[in-house]
A and B are shown apart, each in its own frame.
Chain A
């Protein structure tokens, strides 16, 4: 974009960029440095030795995996239906689904709490998995429907002539052809589940053994009297899986997280 003449100019532009990314580095630096102050690495040892430390991660992972499965299966079926099948009033259903696209979680708190209590889901991870999945599906369907719209009807036509039914077409044509979309959905839902804070906070409460990763820093706060260094050590440990996943799968993350807007 910008024209760069000569090595000095190039270096200058690099310096400008470096200055501009300081605001992004500063919190990371503060986090890492703060977590090592005082007791040093012992902060980390203390956090890891916390009873139930692993359950935070296990709960988040469980919620994420279950939500991804539900969202993926339902999104694929729904998008196939919306895109290729003839169903009466399907546009109405589609707009009804899109109405839920931007639902703020806080709006759903009261009914979710009372529903969870009534159905017995309260106190189990399902109280979070179900609403998390329901809140993602409108968006993933919007994406996937657009994607499937791009698959030519003639392929399905040919399959039908060869005797493939609706289910066979879905299984043998739609699913393999939407693999790039599957990756995007997995990344998107994974991030949103792992980062979810409000729903687990309200629906799983602050009970021992039911907390998720995002509650790690805050639960430490109450337990250890605002020991800032250990809270920051918690933050580092909670952030590591995400950062590692991103650095390992850069392309997929960038594509997945921006899938909606890039279409």
Chain B
């Protein structure tokens, strides 16, 4: 047992210790300089940094929206797959394959999907929602140009990797990669729903939507909670997609803590002290989530998943 503990915790905590140490040095410190512990300058700078708060805000926004989408898609698809539809295995493979492929490999593909001449715009063009100007730029169709500013979307143009929409491109990419796991989890937990409860509900006249909302959703609540923690950690760790799809930009519109630290570290002026302070704060956030996760797996009550909903 000891080798593993030493190996894993040893390395990780040595690293955290070192980051903590560097974080106390001046923000612009680099390993080539002599060590000079100065204090909490870097932390003060981080709390003052608008970009730091922007990244946290993006992480929160990203988490909320992608989590909602993943849960909804996961539940609906799992329920459909449990019904007697045609070709369930093929659908299952289609949904799960994206979660196997590396985000770093899919990133250029997502760039292409949302490119100005990509399939999304192609489709919108066919629907008559966007028009192509003589010089090749794509703009909204006339009637939309009048409508969008009225509903507060005046800044959105059909050029998706831009400040107003780049965050949502990253969300879409992550949802694509994450629904597979959620789907499998929901599929498994739905397998434990009591058939008789479902039958009884149907005899009482509940329609499919009603059954979904009043029986299936309550029965899968533990899975919904587990996914919140898993996805919370994913959101905090997020790096590959924003870095490779948008590089955190344009104009930091899709900056996350991961890309921020990376850019501070390897950008034009590498500020090791500052990056370390940011890292320590990210570590504390992640640790909080980790404690939550451990507590919830420990206290996993053997609550019968077949607890029936009220119909």
Residues on A close to B: CB < 8 A?
1-4, 10-11, 13-14, 16-18, 20-21, 23-31, 34, 70, 74-75, 77-78, 80-82, 85, 87, 90, 93, 95-112, 114-115, 130-131, 133-135, 137-138, 141-142, 146, 191, 194-195, 197-198, 202, 213-218, 221, 228, 231-232, 234-235, 238-239, 242-243, 245-247, 250, 253-254, 257-258, 260-263
Q: What residues on A are CB-neighbors of B193 within 8 Å?
A: 1
Answer yes or no: B128 CB below 8 A from chain A CBs. no
Q: What residues on B are CB-neighbors of A102 within 8 Å?
A: 233, 236-237, 286-287, 289-290, 293
Nearest B residue to A82, CB-CB = B1
8 Å CB interface, B132-156 against A: none
Answer yes or no: B181 CB below 8 A from chain A CBs. yes
Q: Evaluate contact between A261 and B73: CB separation under 8 angstroms.
A: no
How far does the Cβ of B189 sit from chain A's closest Cβ, in whole Å? 9
Q: Evaluate contact between B103 and A78: CB separation under 8 angstroms.
A: no
Q: Evaluate contact between B8 and A100: CB separation under 8 angstroms.
A: yes
Answer yes or no: B91 CB below 8 A from chain A CBs. yes
A-B residue pair count with CB separations less than 8 angstroms: 301
How far does the Cβ of B29 sit from chain A's closest Cβ, in whole Å? 10
Q: Evaluate contact between B240 and A198: CB separation under 8 angstroms.
A: yes
Q: Evaluate contact between A134 and B11: CB separation under 8 angstroms.
A: yes
Residues on B close to A: CB < 8 A?
1-5, 7-9, 11-16, 18-19, 22, 31, 73, 76-77, 79-87, 91, 93-110, 112-113, 118-119, 172, 175-176, 179, 181, 184-185, 188, 190, 193, 198, 202, 208, 211-212, 216, 223, 226-227, 230, 233, 236-237, 239-240, 243-244, 257-258, 261-262, 265-266, 272, 275-276, 279-280, 282-283, 286-287, 289-290, 293-294, 297, 300
Q: Would A100 and B13 be within 8 Å (CB), given that A21-B91, A217-B108 are in contact?
A: yes
Q: Evaluate contact between A195 and B103: CB separation under 8 angstroms.
A: yes
Q: What residues on A are CB-neighbors of B239 within 8 Å?
A: 104-106, 197-198
